Structure 1
Amino acid sequence: MLLYKLWRSFVKEILLLKRDIGGIVIIFVMPLLLIVTITLIQDSTFKNLEGSKIPIIFIDNDKSEVSKNIKQELETSKTFQLLTNYTEKSAQEAVFSGDYQMAIVIPENLTKDLNSNIDSKVQTIVSSFGLEGDTAAVKKAAPKAKEIHLYFDPATNVGFKNSVMNSVNKMVFEIENKKIYKAFQDQLGTEENLDENKNLISFKEITPKKGAMDVMPNSVQHNVPAWTLFAIFFIVVPLSINLVKEKSQGTSVRARISPTPYFVHILGKTFTYLIICIIQFLLMVAVGIYLFPYMDLPAFDVSGKMFQLIVVTLFSGLAAIGFGVLLGTIADTQEQSAPFGATSVVVLAAIGGIWVPVFLMPEFMQTVAKFSPMNWGLNAYYDIILRNSGIGGIAKELAFLFAFYIAMVAISIFYERKQNAV
């Protein structure tokens, strides 16, 4: 008997959805448009950045070895296009007015003073060991430290500034090291080839492997799970609206006076919208697998991961349904449920890492993100897609999503009983 009541509740939800064509469009069509549009934008942006150069102003007042080395390093980086027909004053005006992102000004006599400074220090060290050296040069005052001036457009991203400054520091540090090494060679009379003096420590990025190929995150691997979650949580809008309609049309009154418990009606909605979530997920995956390759985008790889992804989708759907049930239970009118539901989903997406990666957020917002159910779902998807985790590896996220559903439904039932207590 209970199963029959659950079935009738399920049929009732399907009929409600059939009468709401706008809700069907929101549930299925809008997420597909979002995932295609945003993935195309992000992927084309990455490709453009790979093939373009940033124009920067380079002023060489030294015109000697060090400045030429710095210039060569900047040109071979394939990141910058150097503009040289400027004075320091005109470069400052051009950068501060926003015409260019930055300018680099190499001071006069940089190479000469650097060589003199290094020679003086090396001779001091050699003399301290009792080796031969020019004692007159040892007593000579060291040249004043030189400054390479960097001008940045005030609107330039802080991360770009830090990246450029670190790059310039690295170049200068390597040049100084080579010169110090060469100075010691000259003092000690050795003839080792400087080109053979390579760094003893270097960096190599180790990435997850699939066979003999590196598996790297791309725009598709982020956007398919991210916008699937956004679509799943957007069912909050039609779900809450239908609950408000039931109250305004008297359906909820008939449900309360019937012998069917209220939780059966909630279970009927849960099963109905879980099916919708699975359909949304399959549509998103189909776009990633079959449509994206025709749009010059990477295909979405789900080989060996489909079961785990569906499990995450089910639990994420439960969290979204619980939130929708609570909102529809508390709201009195569609004017309350619809805008609040849409806004809250956007906020949860923003703090959950759907739009901006969590690690780029301020420390406070990173802490807040841990309380977003979208963040739990996104981390579970990432663990499967990028880290090849199984169900055991995402058990914590699944537990959080299920606990969120239980908490939302429990509050809804408590609120409904309190409101209708006689």
Structure 2
Amino acid sequence: MLLYKLWRSFVKEILLLKRDIGGIVIIFVMPLLLIVTITLIQDSTFKNLEGSKIPIIFIDNDRSEVSKNIKHELEASKTFQLLTNYNEKSAQDAVFSGDYQMAIVIPQNLTKDLNANIDSKVQTIVSSFGLEGDSAKVKKAAPKAKEIHLYFDPATNAGFKNSVMNSVNKMVFEIENKKIYKAFQEQLGTEENLEENKNLISFKEITPKKGAMEVMPNSVQHNVPAWTLFAIFFIVVPLSINLVKEKSQGTSVRARISPTPYFVHILGKTFTYLIICIIQFLLMVAVGIYLFPYMDLPAFDVSGKMLQLLVVTLFSGLAAIGFGVLLGTIADTQEQSAPFGATSVVVLAAIGGIWVPVFLMPEFMQAVAKFSPMNWGLNAYYDIILRNSGITGIAKELALLFAFYIAMVAISIFYERKQNAV
């Protein structure tokens, strides 16, 4: 008998959804548009940075060894197109007005002063060891350190600034090291080839492997789970609106006076919207697998992971449904439920790491993110897709998502009974 009531509740939800075909289309179409647009933007931005050069102003007031080395390194990076027909004042004006991203100004006598500075310091060190070195040289006061001026467009991304400054610092540091080493050779009279002295320590990135192939994370692997989760939680809006409609149309009154317990109506909604969540997930995966390769994007690889991803989708759907039920139970009008539901989903997405990675957030917000159900679902998706975890590896996230659903539904039932108590 209970199963029959549950079935009738499920049929009722389907009939309600059929009355709002436009809303259902939005639920399915909007996430698809988001995932395609965001992934294309991120991937094309990466390719543009990789395949085209950023024009920057390069002013060489030194015109000697060090400045030529810096210029050579910048050109060899294949990232920058150097513009040289500027002086420092015109370069500053061009950059600060937004015409160019940045300008690099090499000061006069940089090579000469750097050599004098290094010679002075090397002679002091050699003398401290009791070695004569080139004793004929007269010690002079070391010149002051030179400054390479970097001008950035005020609208330039902070990450780009830091990347360029680190690159310039690295180039100068390597040039200084080579000159110091060469100065010691001259002082000590050795003839070792400087080119043979390579770095003793280097870096090698170790990536996960699938068989003999390395698995390289890409924009698709990040965007498909992220926007699938956003789509799943966006069902909060139509679900809460339907609950409010039931109040205004008297459906909830008939449900209360019927012999069917209220939790059966909640279960009916849960099963109905879980089906929608599964359809959303399958559509997103289909776009990742079949459409993205035609758009010159990497294909979304779900081989051997589909069952685990479906499990995460089910539990994430439960959390979203629980939140929608609570919102629809508490709200009195559609004007309350619709904007609050949409806004709260965007806020949960921002906190949960959909828009900005959690590790880039302030420490306080990183702590807040741990309480977002979207963050639990996103971590579970990433654990499966990027970290090759199994169901046991995401048990904590699944438990949190299910507990969130139970808590939301329990609060909704308690609130509904209190509101309608005689």
TM bucket, shorter chain: over 0.9
**Paired residues of 2:88 and 2:105 also in contact (CA < 8 A):** yes
Structure 1 position 135, deviation (Å): 4.0
**Paired residues of 2:220 and 2:299 also in contact (CA < 8 A):** yes
**Paired residues of 2:290 and 2:299 also in contact (CA < 8 A):** yes
Structure 1 position 139, deviation (Å): 3.4
Structure 1 position 350, deviation (Å): 1.9
Structure 1 position 257, deviation (Å): 1.3
Range that drifts further, 134-143 or 237-246: 134-143
Deviations 1:67-105 (A, max 9, x none): 110110011011111111111111111111211111111
Distance 1:92 1:16 in 2: 63
Structure 1 position 240, deviation (Å): 0.8
**Paired residues of 2:55 and 2:83 also in contact (CA < 8 A):** yes
Cα distance change of structure 1 residues 37 and 144 upon mapping to structure 2, 3 Å threshold: closer
Deviations 1:340-393 (A, max 9, x none): 111211221122221222222233322222221111111110110000000111
Deviations 1:269-309 (A, max 9, x none): 11111111111111111111111112221111000000100
**Paired residues of 2:134 and 2:187 also in contact (CA < 8 A):** no
TM-score, length-normalised on structure 2? Answer: 0.97
Structure 1 position 114, deviation (Å): 1.1
Structure 1 position 311, deviation (Å): 0.4
Structure 1 position 138, deviation (Å): 5.9
Structure 1 position 264, deviation (Å): 1.1
Structure 1 position 412, deviation (Å): 0.3
**Paired residues of 2:133 and 2:188 also in contact (CA < 8 A):** no
Which residues in structure 2 correspond to 1:209-358 (within 5 Å)?
Answer: 209-358=209-358
**Paired residues of 1:120 and 1:137 also in contact (CA < 8 A):** no
Distance 2:173 2:138 in 1: 23
Structure 1 position 214, deviation (Å): 2.1
- Structure 1's consecutive aligned runs of 4 or more residues displaced over 4 angstroms after TM superposition are none
Q: Could you tell me the percent identity over the aligned residues? A: 96
Deviations 1:126-166 (A, max 9, x none): 22222223446463211221111111112212221111111
The size of the alignment, in residue pairs, is: 422
Distance 2:318 2:61 in 1: 66
Deviations 1:35-66 (A, max 9, x none): 22222222222211211111111111111111
**Paired residues of 2:241 and 2:338 also in contact (CA < 8 A):** yes
Distance 1:121 1:43 in 2: 49
Distance 1:331 1:320 in 2: 16
Distance 1:307 1:400 in 2: 19
Distance 1:258 1:201 in 2: 76
Q: Secondary structure at the match of 1:93?
A: helix
Distance 1:28 1:119 in 2: 70
Range that drifts further, 59-68 or 310-319: 59-68
Structure 1 position 404, deviation (Å): 0.8
Q: CA RMSD in A?
A: 1.3
Which residues in structure 2 correspond to 1:376-395 (within 5 Å)?
Answer: 376-395=376-395
Distance 1:270 1:144 in 2: 72
Distance 1:126 1:31 in 2: 68
TM-score, length-normalised on structure 1? Answer: 0.97
Structure 1 position 33, deviation (Å): 2.1
Structure 1 position 418, deviation (Å): 0.5
Distance 1:31 1:134 in 2: 73
**Paired residues of 2:59 and 2:86 also in contact (CA < 8 A):** yes
Structure 1 position 29, deviation (Å): 2.0
**Paired residues of 2:308 and 2:391 also in contact (CA < 8 A):** yes
Structure 2 unaligned blocks of 5 or more: none
1:200 aligns with 2:200: yes
Distance 1:223 1:150 in 2: 35
**Paired residues of 2:353 and 2:375 also in contact (CA < 8 A):** yes
**Paired residues of 2:322 and 2:405 also in contact (CA < 8 A):** yes
